[in-house]
């Protein structure tokens, strides 16, 4: 008796399926290997080095100025640029006092330890000095100054009054785009003299001393000498007064280390040293 042996179709196809599956997997593996061989290797990107901060320019204020016959020393409050005293080798001493908010309060000028003059400073509601009262060493009034500002907060006009409260002199001050006083028109007894100035492009000797222009308004040329840059030439119109020409040598931080001032045939040379103000 012949017996038919019938195998399920799944049993017959299983070996074939396994063989085909092996070829498929083998081919896929070869393809991946080939791709990995042919694919270009990417260099690992190096991490970018952090950018080095640009060092801040040092803030410097004068500590001493020496001429042939005079030595001037500047003293400050701690490590700040707030000027407290100017001492000169000829016996002159100028002291500066401030309110708690740092605005000027009083200026005192001594000669041979005797008080010669003092000034009182008055604030308006904007916190600006609008009036300066002048007194001699015996507290007798010698008049006052009225201060007017432009929109940028710069002193644009100074009116000077005597003890009789009558104006005797008026200054009108103009500025260049950098904030340097480049013109001052002084009117006295109906006559006007105009001072004009050009400047270098370096750091001014006194530019970091706050309120110095206000403190020294009683000195001629103060607005120009104590500007943000350094004057190169100061001229006068009419030309009855001889102008001044300034030349400089600079230190490595671009501050003047020496200057020569020529007015007519007279030449004055100064050496300047500085104190570096620590950043806050």
Q: For residue range 112-132, what is the model confidence (pLDDT) as tens digits?
A: 999 999 999 999 999 999 999
Q: Is residue 85 part of a domain?
A: yes
In a domain, 234, yes or no: yes
d(CA 68, CA 269): 7
Lowest mean pLDDT among 104-108, 232-236, 272-276: 232-236
Task: Please classify residue 205 by burial: count the beta carbons closer than 10 Å to its beta carbon, then call 0-12 exposed, 13-18 middle and 19+ buried.
Answer: buried
How high is the pLDDT of residue 217?
A: 86
Is the separation of the CB atoms in 134 and 144 below 8 Å? yes
List b or e across 73-88, with b for residues whose CB sees 16 or more CB atoms inside 10 angstroms: bbebeeeebbbeebbe
Residue pair 187/173 in contact (Cβ under 8 Å)? The answer is no
Q: Look over the chain and give the mean of its residue pLDDT values, rounded to a whole number.
A: 85
Mean pLDDT value across residues 223-249:
87
- At 110, the pLDDT band (50, 70, 90 cuts) reads very high
Please indicate whether residue 25 or residue 225 has the higher confidence score (pLDDT): 225
Q: Using omega within 30 degrees of 0 as the cis cutoff, is the peptide bond preceding 42 cis?
A: no
Closest CA relative to residue 172, chosen from 147, 202, 152, 189: 147
Contact 214/102 with Cβ under 8 angstroms?
no
Q: Tell me phi and psi for residue 219, to 5 degrees.
A: -100, 140
Would you state the pLDDT for residue 238?
A: 82
Quick check: is 71 in a domain?
A: yes
Number of structural domains the chain divides into? 1
Any domain includes 7: no
Domain span at residue 107 reads: 59-277
Does residue 189 form part of some domain? yes
Residue 220 pLDDT level (bands cut at 50, 70, 90): low
CATH of the domain at 223: 2.40.160.190
Residue 33 belongs to a domain: no
Tokens of 157: 């006009």
Instruction: Confirm whether 177 is domain-assigned.
Output: yes
Q: Is residue 176 part of a domain?
A: yes
Residue labelled with tokens 């799944």: 10
Name residue, tokens 């070996």. 15
Residue 55 pLDDT level (bands cut at 50, 70, 90): low
What are the residues facing 143 on neighbouring strands?
134
Task: Give me the pLDDT at residue 16, please.
Answer: 41
pLDDT in tens, 6-45: 444 444 444 444 444 444 444 545 454 444 444 455 556 6
- Weakest-pLDDT range from 20-34, 58-72, 249-263: 20-34
């Amino acid at each position: 008796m012949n017996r038919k042996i019938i195998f399920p179709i799944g049993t017959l196809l299983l070996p074939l399926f396994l063989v085909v599956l092996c070829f498929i997997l083998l081919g896929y593996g070869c393809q991946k290997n080939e791709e990995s061989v042919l694919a270009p290797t990417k260099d690992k990107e190096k991490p970018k080095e952090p950018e080095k901060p640009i060092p801040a320019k040092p803030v410097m204020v004068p500590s001493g100025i020496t001429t042939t016959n005079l030595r001037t020393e500047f003293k400050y409050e701690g490590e700040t640029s707030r000027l407290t005293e100017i001492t000169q080798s000829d016996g002159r001493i100028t002291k500066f006092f401030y309110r708690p908010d740092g605005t000027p309060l009083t200026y005192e000028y001594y000669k041979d330890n005797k008080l010669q003059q003092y000034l009182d400073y008055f604030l308006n509601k904007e916190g600006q000095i609008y009036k300066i009262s002048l007194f001699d060493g015996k507290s007798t009034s010698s008049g006052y100054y009225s201060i007017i500002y432009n929109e940028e907060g710069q002193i644009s006009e100074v009116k000077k009054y005597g003890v009789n409260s009558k104006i005797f002199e008026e200054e009108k001050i103009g500025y260049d785009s950098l904030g340097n006083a480049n013109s001052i028109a002084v009117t006295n007894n109906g006559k006007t003299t105009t001072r004009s100035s050009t400047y270098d492009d370096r750091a001014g000797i006194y530019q970091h001393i706050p309120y110095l222009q206000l403190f020294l308004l009683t000195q001629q040329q103060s607005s120009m000498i104590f500007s943000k840059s350094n004057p190169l030439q100061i001229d006068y119109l009419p030309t009855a007064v001889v102008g001044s020409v300034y030349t400089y040598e600079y230190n490595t931080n671009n501050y003047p280390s020496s200057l020569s001032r020529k007015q007519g045939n007279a030449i004055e040379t100064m050496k300047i040293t500085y104190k570096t103000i620590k950043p806050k």
